[in-house]
Amino acid sequence: MAIEDTHNRPLLDLRISVTDRCNMRCRYCMPREHFDRNHRYLPKEDILSFEEIVCVVKALIPQGLRKVRLTGGEPLLRRDLHELIHQIRSCSPELDIAITTNGLLLKKHLNQLHQAGLSRVTVSLDSLDEKIFQSMGDTKAHPSIVLDAIDAAQNIGLPVKINTVVKKGVNDQHVVSMVEAFGPRNIPVRFIEFMDVGTTNDWNLENVVSADTMRSSLARHFGPLRPRQPIHKSDVANVYTTKEGWSIGFIESITNPFCGDCTRARLSANGSIYTCLFSNKGQDVRGILRMGGTPGDISQAIQSIWMNRTDRYSERRTEQTKRLKVEMSYIGG
């Protein structure tokens, strides 16, 4: 039986942050001046073990959990991640198990992840242009590493999507080339409006390119875009297709918020449940796990957290921009 919050939204998706560390320093997520060597990452002993994470997943499957997404930080920095996927897959053959990764370590781990039961992968890639890729990610890595990993994933039959954060004056002139590169390969590109997550990324509305503006540029090049009916009401992206049938998604958290259909909970790497990406406070479940709690105990705790949920941050953004928010690399994007 699905648990519903105060706005009748069921808990269907769980995003699990498996680490708060990352091998990139995207300016919009972990700017280097804040995430430098003085930054205090979570101590190892605070981070949930695979068994503890699996206990949370097990607790939520009978409540209607449909999908888990492994994220972070960079999830592939967590050693033996395929083991976690294998353990989650053993809980349910039907569960949709996805990962969001920057792709730098993907090729190396791909076969193990696939064999362990991963359903699909979302690769974040902001530009094909070396200079823009390196400056947005504040990295010396070359985008060809990510492209090779995308090829490899497609070759073994793993469905791939691309996430591209669009920032005004940085990569907004390249939305057409992203679709030209991936459309013919049937890889959907999802453009994400630059969001005001956390407190360190210097977010400003002036740097946001609205999905409407992106659609206009794309339509000038590809012709009219046709909106596609959502497969699930809770899908985060609004999907359109070009006349060639290429799929383009838009995650319009700023200009067209989708809180009304938000069915996602987040589990931070140190075992707190967050009911909104923009929460300033999580609710600890690690304590219950470490006191020998069973999936039944966890299920009860999360039920009461979810049933009290009122979050609608994106819809109320203007009233709340000044409040303290947790960083996305910690809570899981």
Residues in region 18-57 near ligand SAM by CB under 6 A: 22, 28-29
Place of tokens 């400003």: 204
- Residue span binding ligand SF4 (CB under 6 A) among the ranges 109-117, 219-227, 256-264, 318-326: 256-264
Angle 143-155/106-116 helices, nearest 10 degrees? 30
| Residue 72 is a binding residue for ligand SAM (CB under 6 A) | yes
Q: How many CA atoms lie within 13 A of 53 on its CB side?
A: 28
Helix (H) or strand (E) holding 121: strand 120-124
Strands (E), the chain: 13-17, 67-71, 96-101, 120-124, 160-166, 189-193, 226-227, 238-241, 247-251, 264-267, 272-274, 283-284
Question: How do 283-284 and 272-274 pair as beta strands?
Answer: antiparallel
Interaction partner, residue 192 (ligand SF4, ligand SAM, none; CB < 5-8 Å by kind): ligand SAM
Helix (H) or strand (E) holding 114: helix 106-116
Nearest residue (CB) to ligand SF4, 163 versus 299: 163
Q: What is the largest CA-CA distance in the chain?
A: 59
CB of 263 to ligand SAM, least distance (A): 18
| Residue 70 is a binding residue for ligand SAM (CB under 6 A) | no
Phi and psi at residue 120, to the nearest 5°: -170, 170
Interaction partner, residue 201 (ligand SF4, ligand SAM, none; CB < 5-8 Å by kind): ligand SAM
| Residue 71 is a binding residue for ligand SAM (CB under 6 A) | yes
- Residue span binding ligand SF4 (CB under 6 A) among the ranges 39-47, 61-69, 72-80, 244-252: 72-80
3-class DSSP state of 123? strand
Distance CA 180, CA 105 (A): 25
String of contacts with ligand SF4 for each residue 74-113, x by CB under 6 A: x---------------------------x-----------
CB of 173 to ligand SF4, least distance (A): 21
Residues that bind ligand SF4 (CB under 6 A): 22, 24-26, 29-30, 72-74, 102, 124, 258-259, 262, 264, 276-278, 311-314, 329
Residues that bind ligand SAM (CB under 6 A): 22, 28-29, 71-72, 74, 100-102, 124, 163, 165, 192, 194-195, 197, 201, 328-329, 333
